[in-house]
Structure 1
Amino acid sequence: MAKRNMKRLFKANRVYSVKQVCEICGVTKNTVSGWVKVGLHPSDVTKPYVFQGSSLIAFIEAQSRRDKRSLRLGEFKCFSCRGVFWPDAVAIEYMFSTKYRNVQVRANCDSCKTCATKLLNATQWDSVQKCKNTGASLDTIDEGKAGFKAKTGIKQITSENIFYYSNDRLLHGYIVFMGKYATKTIDAHLIAIREFERFSKGVVFKQITPQLVAQYREDLIQRGSELSEDAISNSTIGHRASQLRLFLTWLLKQKGYRSLDQTLPEYLDLPKAQMAKVKPAKEKVYPTLSEAEEMLRSMPKATRLDRRQRAVFACAFLTGLRANALAGLRHRDVDLQKSIFVQDGTNGRAKNGKSYRGRFFPVPETFLSVFTEWVNEMETLGARRDDAVFPTEQSLIQNRSPGVQPRKPFEPLKGADVVRQAFAVASKNTKHSYHPHSARHCLAAFGVELCRSEKEFKAWSLCLGHEDIKITRRHYGHMDEETCFEVMEIIETERNETGDEKDLILEFALQELHPRDPEYEKAKALYNARIGKPSKR
């Protein structure tokens, strides 16, 4: 087994084929077969095997624990696959003796068939020879000095972590079907399916009934109605139901499952009356543009890494890109002269592999100035079109002197940690801890206030990467409770408008009016007059 921590490469809810395990671990099929012999638990006995991620993680952890203890006399350590094995006594071969009467012996690894060697003293070699002559097992030599030899594989099952294996081969096919989606989307769907599997106590999916699906739906709603901190929100309930509904729709089309009740997905429809009692989704907190500008000004800029953080924060509000897209941004994706940016879905960083072009948002000049200064600094260091806009720290160190030749490429960030860290630094002196997605919520709310027509808001939504304008309205820029109360207080204290005009102001403030509504412009003018903002003509 390789030295790297391979258990992090597997996910507990997923199902892996032998080929996938070989590719992830960098081993051969024979090695995987050897792992099965020494305790790796396949999901079923059908070949080719498939393995649940939880079994692979448990097996790797068990092998790691064995690596950290001292070997017993009859045990050998294979430095090729990192496994520990017990060969038959007759399979141990004598190699040579040292001048101190120590004996070098060898035996073939059970997993990868690689030759492993071991140095024994004279007494130990005599014990091995005795086992060879009598046919006794090697683990009887030092019996009682260590725990007995046992196979390793399935992790100890607890009430918090229960996995079933009867549906794994089917789920492997579903994972292949879901290949067009992003990794996070697939993982979210598998969480919902595994939760349903645990709820049904591992029922084989060929035996799913409408009553079972309906009971799971009621359980979701019940957990949302609880008053404890573990209660799930209506957003989580909706996602779990829709994810399981998609799986059941796919399941009903598979060979051997078409005899199931065709109405199964419909039993996951959520009743509005009961959902009204469910815990609401957590309020989305985001800064205003003026607050974000103050946060940007307060960020340190003494070192190059500090300036990179400031540029990351500024670019988030300038382009509205998600964290992973920001991390993978390259110089060819940004045109400062035309104020255009590109989200390149081919680099694997964009959500669902989406590519689109957009213009910089009309945010305060400070954001553009900070970002432009960083791009110019990178160009001074010799950055080219294919280099990362926000390179790794190692790349910045290697290319810290301008004009150094030959220059190494500026590698992009491996993940979104630096982006999240930039927002954490910016939020240091604020009452809220903002995250990268806060910038998108801020821009969506700003667009609702700024855009005067459906056409304008459609363009705004497209620059956020939303093909459907409803996504921007439904999921972004919601009014928080504090702002809502402020609007209500204004309506309560001001008595100049008629009752109908007050209703219009309230509907506009709560974003209940559509730009195509005939009273939209009137409501907007009344609202702007209330808050002291001049109307644009």
Structure 2
Amino acid sequence: MKKYHPKNERIKRRYFDYLKEAKRMDVSSVDLVAASIAAFEQYSNYQDFAKFHIEKAKSFKAHLAKQRNATTGNPLSKATIHSRLMALKAFFFWLAGQPGYRSKFSYADADFFNPSANDSRIATARRDKKVPTVEQVRHVIFTMPDGSDVEKRDRAIVAFTLLTGARDNAVASFRLKHVDLAARSVFQDARDVRTKSRKTFTTFFFPVGEDVEAVLAEWIDHLKSKLWFGPDDPLFPRTEVALTNADLFGAVGLSRDHWKNASAIRRIFRTAFEAAGLPYANPHSLRNTLAMLGEQHCRTPEEFKAWSQNLGHEQVLTTFTSYGTVATNRQAEILTLIVNREHSQQGGPLSATALDALHTVLKELSAKR
């Protein structure tokens, strides 16, 4: 059975190189694009891309709508279908301008990969995220055991993530030298730390409690005074696995190496939240927790800009639009506060200002639905 087309492989290699070098896409993002193109190739029986026709795009959309998730057995989500079709649209749009393909199909032909307007709205709609509160994360931290070196490390990881909002892949790559306890800061140096888009910036500890800071300080002191770690050693070393006394492989302590990825950190979070009797919250969700905390505490645009920069966002709108969405229950609380405030100030019906504010929030709620 045909598994590839040599000509397709050559042009795909050029496209992936274009995405990485010209569009500056991360390797993981390019891999997702490659998977989408591979799915289309398999559907078209590895036909030469130069023979692309709009009918093939239309039939592929119908094919995706019938596919099921290999793990759950459920139909593919609208978001998954949308992302695959958008990847294919971008690829064939680029392909239409390449030698050997320009005369075969037009730029406009790529538009036939567009999903329906209704499916696009469903796929891109913003929905309430399950975000833990600061109090819940603190509860998790202070119910975690800290008897062994591994347990101390795991508790410090959750505390550090709440203090800094650092992404899990960055947390896995920090070194001791990047933390300055006196300045209450961590230097996210892209030369050593796997930050998103390889940005370099300084994060100061968020105000989530001195006792949370103490957990991190105790861990760093343990690394330096008990395990003799130096500045270039990992802040959160990976677990050393070897044969135990029971002749089984298991954790026997800590190594002096970094984790290669963040999968272990996500497992630590899952175990910690479940042990505390709370739904699993992944490390990234704590960034949403901190964004909402900033909305409650910041009183001026300058303060929120500083808060946003502390999360590593160059544009404050990123914090507002991607992390600062007001949850529906909080939305109801705000509306109630507006009503009560207006009643107390006016002593009567809502003013035009309050009505405008109410209508604005209701429109936003309607749009989310």
Q: TM-score range by the shorter chain?
A: 0.7 to 0.9
Contact 2:36 2:84 in 1 (8 A): yes
Tell me the equivalent position of 1:456: 303
1:106 corresponds to? none
Q: Alignment identity in percent? A: 27
Residue in 2 aligned with 1:504? 357
Query: Structure 1: how far apart are the matches of 2:63 and 2:356?
Result: 39
1:410 aligns with 2:256: yes
CA distance in 2, matches of 1:298, 1:276: 41
Aligned CA distance change for structure 1 residues 318 and 349 (closer, same or farther; 3 Å): same
Does the 8 Å CA contact 1:342/1:356 hold for their aligned counterparts? yes
Which one of 462, 466, 472 corresponds to residue 313 of structure 2?
466
Structure 1: distance between partners of 2:124 and 2:160:
35
After TM superposition, the structure 1 stretch with the greater mean CA deviation from structure 2, 168-177 or 384-393, is: 168-177
Partners of 2:359 and 2:75 lie apart in 1 by 32
Q: Secondary structure at the match of 2:30?
A: helix
The equivalent of 1:293 in structure 2 is 138
For residue 203 of structure 1, what is the aligned residue in structure 2?
A: 47
Q: Any residues of structure 2 matched to 1:3-152 within 5 Å, and which?
A: none
Give, in angstroms, the shift of residue 197 of structure 1.
2.5
CA contact (8 A) 1:233 1:279 kept: no
* Whole-angstrom CA distance in 1 between matches of 2:188 and 2:36: 30
**Which residue does 2:183 correspond to in 1?**
338
Matched residues, number: 337
Q: Which residue of 2 aligns with 1:177?
A: 18
Q: Deviation per CA, 1:216-275: give whole Å up to 9, x if none.
A: 457667889xxx973444443443343233323432343322333022444445554453
Q: Counterpart of 1:423?
A: 269
Other-structure match for 1:519 = none
- Residues 286 and 178 (structure 1 numbering): CA distance in 2 closer, same or farther, change over 3 Å? same
The CA distance in 2 between the partners of 1:508 and 1:339, in whole Å, is 38
Say if 1:264 and 1:448 are closer, same or farther in 2 by CA, change over 3 A: farther
Report the counterpart of residue 250 of structure 1 in structure 2.
94
Deviation at 1:298, TM superposition (A): 1.0
Distance verdict in 2 for CA 1:414–1:276, change over 3 Å: closer
* Match 2:195 to one of 342, 350, 357: 350
Matches within 5 A, 1:476-491: 476-484=323-331
The alpha-carbon distance between structure 1 residues 312 and 274, as it changes in their structure 2 partners (threshold 3 A), is: closer
Corresponding residue SS for 1:496: helix
1:346 is paired with a residue whose SS is: coil
Secondary structure in 2 matching 1:383: coil
Task: Decide which structure has greater helix share.
Answer: 2
How far does residue 294 in structure 1 lie from its aligned partner after superposition? 1.4
Inter-partner Cα distance in structure 2 for 1:273 and 1:263: 21
Is the 1:341–1:358 Cα contact (8 Å) retained in structure 2? yes
Judge conservation of contact 2:178–2:187 (CA < 8 Å) in 1: yes
- Is 2:229 the partner of 1:387? no
- CA distance, structure 2, for counterparts of residue 265 and residue 358 of structure 1: 43
- 3-state SS, counterpart of residue 187 of structure 1: helix
Distance, in Å, in 1 between the alignment partners of 2:189 and 2:320 is 25
Report what 1:99 is aligned to. Answer: none
Which of residues 258, 279, 300 in structure 2 aligns to 1:432?
279
Q: What is the RMSD computed on CA atoms of the aligned residues? A: 3.6
- Identify if the C-alpha distance between structure 1 residues 231 and 305 changes in structure 2 by more than 3 Å, giving closer, same or farther: same
* TM-fit CA distance, 1:390: 0.5
> How many angstroms apart in 2 are the aligned matches of 1:473 and 1:270?
28
Match of 1:57 in 2: none
- Tell me how far apart the structure 2 counterparts of residues 321 and 340 of structure 1 sit (CA, whole Å): 12
Q: Spell out the pairing of 1:151-300 with structure 2 (5 A cutoff).
A: 164-165=4-5, 167-179=8-20, 180-216=24-60, 230-259=74-103, 260-269=105-114, 272-276=117-121, 283-300=128-145
Aligned residue in 2 for 1:17: none
How far apart are 1:442 and its partner, in Å? Answer: 0.8
Aligned to 2:163: 318
Distance 1:457 1:221, change over 3 A: farther
Residue aligned with 2:187, SS: strand
Aligned-pair CA distance for 1:335: 1.6
Code of the aligned partner of 1:361: F
Deviates more, 1:374-383 or 1:462-471: 462-471
Q: Distance between the aligned counterparts of 1:455 and 1:373, measured in 2? A: 33
5+ long unaligned stretches in structure 1: 1-156, 396-407, 513-537
Answer yes or no: is the 8 Å Cα contact 2:266–2:283 preserved in 1. yes
C-alpha distance 483-310 of structure 1, shift in aligned 2 (>3 A): same
Residue 328 of structure 1 and its aligned partner are, at CA, apart by 0.5
Q: Which has the higher contact order (CA 8 A, sep 6+)?
A: 2
Between the aligned partners of 1:471 and 1:347, the Cα distance in structure 2 is 25
Any conservation in 1 of the 2:239–2:255 contact (CA below 8 Å)? no
Separation (CA, whole Å) in 2 of partners of 1:244 and 1:325? 31
Structure 2 stretches of 5 or more lacking a match?
242-253, 345-349
Q: Deviations over 1:357-400 (max 9, x none)?
A: 222222222221111111111121322221110112339xxxxx
Partner Cα separation in structure 2 for residue 174 and residue 477 of structure 1: 35
Q: Offset at 1:443? A: 1.2
Q: Is the 8 A contact 2:172 2:265 kept in 1?
A: yes
Structure ID, larger Rg: 1
Which of 361, 364, 371 does residue 209 from structure 2 map onto? Answer: 364
Q: What amino acid is aligned across from residue 171 of structure 2 in structure 1?
A: L
Give CA deviations for 1:186-238 in whole Å, capped at 9, x if unaligned.
Answer: 211112222333344433211223443355457667889xxx97344444344
